[in-house]
Structure 1
Amino acid sequence: MRKKYAYLLSGLCFSVLLTMVSCNTDDDAAKSVIPFTADIYNSVNGKKVAFHGLTNNAASWKWDFGDGTESSEQNPVHLYKDAGFYTAVLTVTDNSGATITKEVELALDITPYVLLTGGANDTDGRTWRISNGHSGDDYFANSDADLSPYDEAPNPLPGGIFGSGLGMAEVYEDEFTFYFDGSYGHDVKEDGAAFSGVLYQFATTGGAGIVNDGGVGFGLCTGLFEPESDATFTYVENDDLTTSSVYGAGGAITYEGVTTLDFSGNEFVGLKDFENKVILQDISSNSMRLVMFLSASPEAIGINTNAVILTFEAVE
């Protein structure tokens, strides 16, 4: 009987020993198969960013902050000089030489000016064009103090109206590029013409510059225009814009506290007419809305009678 219990006890001990060995083996195996991984965590305070390289089995770290500077720390803190959009890239290497690359998109201290231009790190600038889809805020206005809707035009403007309605689809093709340093680019595409006021074209070219008069009923057309080299623009917040108007005392109206865009020489954005300065009503990362003035009465050539309020889309 004692022998039987002795055998039983021995078997029990052996079983426990096997279990312990098995556990140790499993633990060692688990430790040996931890994969080589990498990811990024970041926190933002203004233009200061704390980066964390969340890695396993990494031997080295290389950060490219997207502004021309780098770091080899695992968890660097970086202060960007300028507001803007940046792509930070982390490249991690393990002991065998294998690498993993991860990146994160940053939008730092974004102002309307950065939204307009893309920021200091965007050497391509930000390009815009009139949106074919329009928006519920696009309409043809009177150039009065309230920019009241013009009764003879649909409000809001339906999508594609300059194409399907007026036969000037090329209006949606022209592109306008704003750079952070204040330089400005303009592409009128293959037709060499720009969205323009009919009276402006007659006053400046005798009508010879008109390419497409499909919008003549609203005082609009497309007219030949050669973009200027080395053009610049000026962005001003809280501006008091005084411009001509048939609705103003003394032939002028002042729009107080608005954001404006103005251009060097003969340049403009959106619509070419006697007044090149426009009001920037609203802007986001992919759209903006501008108020562009128009002289459309033969009895008041050169004096604003209307405004065209249109949404522009960012060109990706």
Structure 2
Amino acid sequence: MRKKYVYLLSGLCFSVLLTIVSCNTDDDEAKSVIPFTADIYHSVKGKKVAFHGLTNNAASWKWDFGDGTESSEQNPVHVYGEAGYYTAVLTVTDNSGATIAKEVELALDITPYVLLTGGANDTDGKTWRISNGHSGNDYFANSDADLSPFEGAPNPLPGGIFGSGLGMAEVYEDEFTFYFDGSYGHDVKDDGAAFSGLLYQFVTTGGAGIVNDGGSDFGLCTGLFEPETDATFTYAENDTMTTSSVYGEGGAISYEGVTTLDFSGNEFIGLKDFENKVILQDISSNSMRLVMFLAASQDYIGINTNAVILTFETVE
């Protein structure tokens, strides 16, 4: 009987030993198959970003914050000096020397000016053009205090109206670039012409500058224009814009508390007419809406009668 117990005890110990060995083997195998991986988690407060390198089997970490600074910490906290758009890159290396790179796009403390120019460094710039799709807020207005809709014009403007409706599709091609340092670029494309007021062209060129008068029923056309070199723009918030208007007392009207864009020399954005200054009604990362003024009456040369309110889109 005692021998039977000895055999039973020996078998039990052997089973336990096998279980332990088996568990250890399983653990070792599990550890050996954990892949080398990397990902990024981040949280933002203003211009301060907390980065977390979510990695397996990494031996080292290298962060490039996209502003000229770096870190070798796994979970660094970085404060950017300027608002703007940045690409942060994490490169991790394992013990064999293999590497994985991950990146994250950041939009930090973005102001309307940064939305307009695309960044916070002097060389940063963003290019815009009139949106072919338009929006529900695009319309042809009177240059009165309320920018009321002009009777007889479609409201809102349907998509592609300058092309399919007026035969001036080239209006959607011209590009306007705003740089963070205040410089300004303008590309009128192959036709060398810009969206323009018809009366303006007759007054300034005798009509010789008119390229396409398809929009003549609305006082619009395209006209020859040579962009200026070394052009600049001025951005102003909470501005009071006083401009000519047939609806204003004494031939002028003021729009108070508006954001405006003004340009050096003869430059402009969108529509070339007697008034180059425009009102910026709304802006996001990929669209903005502008109010551009137009003098369209031969009875009031150079005095605004209308406004064209259009959406612009970014050019990728």
| TM interval, short-chain normalised | over 0.9
| Corresponding residue of 1:296 | 296
Matched, 1:141 2:141: yes
Task: Give the conservation status (yes or no) of the 8 Å contact 2:118–2:180.
Answer: yes
Q: CA–CA distance in 2 between the matches of 1:224 and 1:252?
A: 28
Task: Give the corresponding residue for 2:92.
Answer: 92
Instruction: Tell me the CA shift for residue 29 of structure 1.
Output: 2.1
The residue matched to 2:310 in structure 1 has which SS? strand
TM-score, normalized by length of structure 1?
0.97
Question: Match of 1:67?
Answer: 67
Question: Deviation string for 1:281-312 (max 9, x for gaps)?
Answer: 00111110000000000111100000000000
Unaligned runs of 5+ in 1: none
Which residue in the other structure is 1:157 paired with?
157
User: Structure 1: how far apart are the matches of 2:223 and 2:302?
Assistant: 17
Instruction: Find runs of 4+ consecutive structure 1 residues off by over 3 angstroms.
Output: 1-6, 121-124
Match of 1:197 in 2: 197
Q: Distance in 2 between matches of 1:7 and 1:136?
A: 89
CA contact (8 A) 1:198 1:219 kept: yes
Deviations 1:142-162 (A, max 9, x none): 000000000010111111000
Q: In structure 1, what is the equivalent of residue 23 of structure 2?
A: 23
- 8 Å contact from structure 2 (residues 121, 181) kept in 1: no
Partner of 1:210: 210
In terms of mean alpha carbon deviation, does 93-102 or 245-254 score higher? 93-102
After superposition, the CA RMSD in angstroms is 1.2
Matched residue of 1:309: which SS?
Answer: strand
Task: Name the aligned partner's letter for residue 151 of structure 1.
Answer: E
Q: Which runs of 5+ in 2 are unaligned?
A: none
Within 5 Å, give how 1:1-316 maps onto structure 2: 1-121=1-121, 123-316=123-316
* 8 A contact 1:86–1:121 mirrored in 2: no
TM-score, normalising length: structure 2: 0.97
Aligned mates of 2:240, 2:118 — CA distance in 1? 26
Shift in Å, 1:92: 0.8
The answer on whether the counterparts of 2:174 and 2:189 sit within 8 Å (CA) in structure 1 is yes
Amino acid at match of 2:29: A
The answer (yes or no) to whether the contact 1:227–1:267 under 8 Å persists in 2 is yes
Kindly state the Cα deviation for residue 124 of structure 1 after the two structures are TM-superposed. Answer: 4.8
For 1:298, what is the secondary structure of its paired residue? coil
CA deviation string 1:169-213 (max 9, x = no partner): 000000001111111110000100000000111111110000000
C-alpha separation in 2, matches of 1:163 and 1:241: 31
Q: Residues of 2 paired with 1:273 and 1:160: CA distance?
A: 22
C-alpha distance in 1 between matches for 2:265 and 2:65 = 38
Q: Distance in 1 between matches of 2:60 and 2:169?
A: 55
CA contact (8 A) 1:209 1:224 kept: yes
2:82, 2:18 → 1: CA distance? 64
Residue aligned with 1:163, SS: helix
How many pairs were matched up? 316
* Equivalent-residue separation in structure 1 for 2:214 and 2:286 (angstroms): 29
